[in-house]
Structure 1
C-alpha cells in the first residue's frame, strides 16, 4: 500500500480472507506438511478455525489432506502466476534482462522487496544455472543478497534502522554477515557506490552484483543482478566486466518504468 494512503478502517477489511492467506503462508520449505494443531499454532487461530480454513482450501483445490496432515497443491501457483502475468514490471524487465544475460553469458534476475525478503519476479539463466534461487517466485532474505541490499539502500534511513532492529540474521554460510553494525555499513556502501556486491553469503560459490532499477520519477522500484559462480570470476572482475553493461540496461529501463 502506498505510504501516503491512510490505514483502512477495520470494518473495510475481510478478516476471513486475511486468515485464509495466513494459513497458506504457514507452509514453507521447512514445514511442507502440517497438522491442524500445527497450523493453528503458526497462525494464531483456534484449532476449530484452522480446521475450517484447511477444509475450505482443500475443497477449493489449494490443499491436499493425507494421514492427518495437510500440504499445498500446485494450484497455489496460480496466485503467483496471476501477478507474473498481469504485473507491468516483469513484462517490461524480461526482454532487457534477456539481452543483458546473453550479452554477458551469465545468469540475471530482477527482484523486489516484500517486507524483509527479496522476491524474484524475472530471471534469465543464459545457459548457466548457478542457483535455484534465481527463479521467478523464489523468496530469500534481503540482508544477504545483492538485490536485497541495494533495495534496502534505497529506503529512508528510518526504515533501514527499523529493518536492522527487527532483523535476526542467520549464519547461512561462513561468509554471511550477521553483525548488524557491519550490515548497516554494507547497506550504506551500496547506496553510496550505486551497486551491491555480495560474495557467497546466501550460497557457497554464488557471487552476485546488483544495481537499482528506478522509474522515470527516480524512485527505486526493483533491483537487477548478475550472478556467477565464484570459481570463475573474482569480485573485481565482476565489477569491471558486468557493471558497465548493467548500468546501460538500468538507463534503458529507467525510461520505461
Structure 2
C-alpha cells in the first residue's frame, strides 16, 4: 500500500460525482495496491481476482505499469519496482506534517533514548509518516510509509478515539480484528472500551498487540483549532521497560511535544 494521506475513516462524506472521476487512474492504483508483503509476485489472473478487473483489463494495466517502470515482469509473474516508492516519497517530501514533526520527534526520541514515530489514519489503517530510532531498532513497522492495522497500535487507538462516536461505531461494525499476537484484543466490545479509555485519559498504551516485545504509548497531535491531525508515540522493548513505568517515564515528554506541536500545526 502507498496512499498515506491523512484521512477520516468515513470515506463516504463529500463524495465527488462519478463524472468527475477518472476510472482508469483509480483502477491503475488498485493494481499497484494488489501487491503486499504476502503477495509480492502475482500473475495476471491473481491481479484480476484481487482487483475485480477482467483478466484482459488487468493485463493492460500491468503492461502499462511495466512500460512506465513501476512494475517488472518475469516468468509470467509481476512485481513492483523501487520506482513505486516515488509515490509515497512525494507525500513525505511535500506534506507539511512530516516536515514539522520530524525535528520534535528527533528531540523526543533522543531525550528518552527510545524509538518514536508519528502516524496518521488512512481508512482503517495507521500509516507511519515520520520516525526516529535513537539507536534502538524496536520494530521494522516504525518506518515512514509502513502501514499497520489501527486497532492494535497506540497511535491508531488515540486517532480512533478522536473520531466522532458514530464513526467509531461504523469502524467497529466493519472491523475484522486478527490475533496478531497472544496479547491482541480482538473482541469488539473490549476494543470499544479501549478506544473509550484512550479518549478519556488522553493517551493509549498498547502492550505487544501488534508484535511480541513491542510496547508503545501514544498521544494525539492537534492543530490550533483543536482538531486531531496525527499521533506520536514512544516504542520500547517489553523486556526493558514495564508497562506501568512507560506512563511515568514517557508520557510527560510526549505531552510536552504535544503542546509544542499544537502551536505549529
Instruction: Tell whether the structures are fold-level matches, with TM greater than 0.5.
Output: yes
Question: What is aligned with 1:109?
Answer: 117
- Aligned pairs for 1:1-257 (under 5 A) are 6-257=14-265
Partner deviation per Cα, 1:48-107 (whole Å, 9 max, x = no partner) = 000000000000000000010100000000000000000000000000000000000000
Q: Which runs of 5+ in 1 are unaligned?
A: none
Partner deviation per Cα, 1:134-188 (whole Å, 9 max, x = no partner) = 0000000000000000000000000000000000000110000000000000000
Whole-Å separation in 1 of the counterparts to 2:205 and 2:191: 13
Q: Which runs of 4+ in 1 moved over 6 A?
A: 1-5
Partner deviation per Cα, 1:208-231 (whole Å, 9 max, x = no partner) = 000000000000000000000001
Root-mean-square deviation over aligned CA pairs: 1.2
Whole-Å separation in 2 of the counterparts to 1:5 and 1:170: 28
Q: CA deviation at 1:4?
A: 11
Tell which has more relative contact order, 1 or 2 (C-alpha 8 A, sep 6+). 2
Whole-Å separation in 1 of the counterparts to 2:253 and 2:175: 33
Whole-Å separation in 2 of the counterparts to 1:125 and 1:219: 27
Distance 1:66 1:148, change over 3 A: same
- SS of the aligned residue for 2:182 comes to coil
Q: CA deviation at 1:6?
A: 3.3
Q: Which runs of 5+ in 2 are unaligned?
A: 1-6
Q: CA deviation at 1:5?
A: 7.1
TM-score w.r.t. structure 2 length?
0.95
Whole-Å separation in 2 of the counterparts to 1:109 and 1:85: 16
TM-score w.r.t. structure 1 length?
0.98
- SS of the aligned residue for 2:233 comes to strand
